[in-house]
Amino acid sequence: MKKLISFLWFLTTITFFAEANITKQRYSKSAQPTIEKWEVLDISFKAKVGKINPFITNFDALFTAPNGRTQKVPGFYNGNNEWVIRFSAKQEGQWTFTTQSKIKALNARSGQVIVNKNNTKGYKGAVVIPEARPDRFFYENGDPYMLMAFECDWLHALDYHNENGMPKTDRLLEVVKENGFNQIIMNVFTYNISGKGEWAKDEKLVNHPEYEFGGPDDIFPFLGNNENPDYSSLNIDFFKKFDRVIDLMHDRQMVSHLMIYVWNKLVAWPEMYSEADNMYFDYVVKRYQAFPNIMWDISKEALFYGRADDQYILERLERFRKLNDFNRTVSVHDYGFCARHPETVDYISRQTWDYSLYSQMLNDRKRFKNKPIFNIEHGGYEEAHFQVFTGVYTNAEVCLKRNYQCAFAGAYSTYYWQGLSWDVMIHDPEAQPENWYRPKLEYFKYFTDLFTKYHWHKFKPTPGHNSSGYSMADGEGTFLMYVPKEVYMIRAQYLFNKNYKPGKYRWFNTLTGEYTPYKQLPDIRAPFYSPWKDIADAVLIVEQDQNS
């Protein structure tokens, strides 16, 4: 009875905080809302809940595109007798829809939506994997997506208690984006670290509680809280506030790599396969799939910590596919699972701390030729003023090198900073006290600038040319070679073999982003010497004259 009362009380609660800035339209048959390509639209309907559980009640709409193609769009309950159809589209023109539900007030409601050709915010659409390049990510508009991710598991909590806006989240996204990152690895919800062993809480946090976001007693996706959960209902306020995060990321053109579960952050999840488990999973997928900036992940640490097994993750993937009406990409944060079941995921998720990272990523690329390889965790966790989790590499240059090793092996990668990736969140690293350690985020601005300038998606690893570094070639006469600062010289004959042609070359400094002036290619027998030997790792850029 107590749960029933709390459930009914919750359904009548009205929220009083600044909601997401999503375009909204209250349903009427004569309404004809207009949105831009890839803009998100919420069409709201009113229907009394009665005695049903609205979170497991089916409600959707069948949309018909201007070219006649149809697409089902799931709806969801949004509290206070409000139901929402959340829509976005790539195709311009007039779309029509008709709703479907066993609830009479929600059934057979028809309407129109106009998607115009404007794109004032510069949206590029969802991240997709085209058939012509199954090993690479692209945006729907055809631009290559050079994925460079930043882990920030507690992002949902940063401005949770700010009823008026999201200034901290906005600033964090600004800092991340201006330093070359275009994706955030995040959880729908995560609770706390263990506080023991290598996850022990830094004692300095006692004097700086403003940076500690672990263990909240009033943030939870269900009723109650993590210590006393009530699985009879979902917490609408939690998801309305989470809408603000995903929508702001969409406006900033930041992709959310969204992990539906996480097993190692002390979350009090309901029993696997239970009604509450299914309710949560289905609701999350229905509510957020219309956002083009979503890439899905079933769970962080999917098979660790004794929680789940292959059977459960396979069932979740099958369940996801049935709900995934917008056809967003999905993977699983567990390499063993991806390797055993590659046909069930859209890209391979890799996690390895091994020193032989380059070789492992190269082997993955050979093994899974027709899927993108995404190293989601390479063991580099750059140091911060507060120690959270060190892994095995904390030096900024070493962490950076591991990202280059992934890139030169043809794989995407992620960056972790101990000041933002977990329960400690220093949302504006530039505003820290001067005597605190500042992360070398600019290294990744230079990283993405290099691979944007030289069209990384066109390059393939050429390990046979490696000599004293890592080599890539685009097949059109351009070679990139990563040269560690310890290397004295590079022999040209290893780089070119029998494919030597006249041309030009220059060097790129991975720590400053500096390019040297171009010089004419020397004789094939002449070596190359890095101008930053013992100072910085560099990239040798060779551009051959294809008309020779």
Q: Where are the alpha helices (DSSP H) in 368-424?
A: 396-408
Supply the pTM of this predicted model.
Answer: 0.95
pLDDT at residue 382 in the model: 98
Mean pLDDT of the chain: 94
pLDDT at residue 300 in the model: 94
* pLDDT higher than 90, residue 412: yes
pLDDT at residue 497 in the model: 61
CB 184 within 8 A of CB 149: yes
Please give the residue that has the higher pLDDT: either 34 or 9.
34
pLDDT at residue 5 in the model: 40
* pLDDT higher than 80, residue 380: yes
pLDDT at residue 548 in the model: 61
Q: What pLDDT band is residue 101 in, cutting at 50, 70 and 90? A: very high
Which has the closest alpha carbon to 538: 514, 494, 507? 507
Rounded to the nearest 5°, which phi and psi values hold at 498?
A: -95, 10
Q: pLDDT tens digits, residue range 328-360?
A: 999 999 999 999 999 999 999 999 999 999 999
pLDDT at residue 9 in the model: 41
Provide the CA 299 distance to its chain's centre, in angstroms. 13
Q: pLDDT tens digits, residue range 21-43?
A: 899 999 999 999 999 999 999 99
Give the C-alpha distances (Å, rounded to integers) separating 105 from 7, 74, 99, 223, 429.
Answer: 22, 16, 10, 27, 50
Q: What number is the average pLDDT over the span 308-330?
A: 98
Q: What pLDDT band is residue 493 in, cutting at 50, 70 and 90? A: low
Cβ neighbors of 498 (< 8 A, separation 6 or more) are none
Q: What pLDDT band is residue 498 in, cutting at 50, 70 and 90? A: low
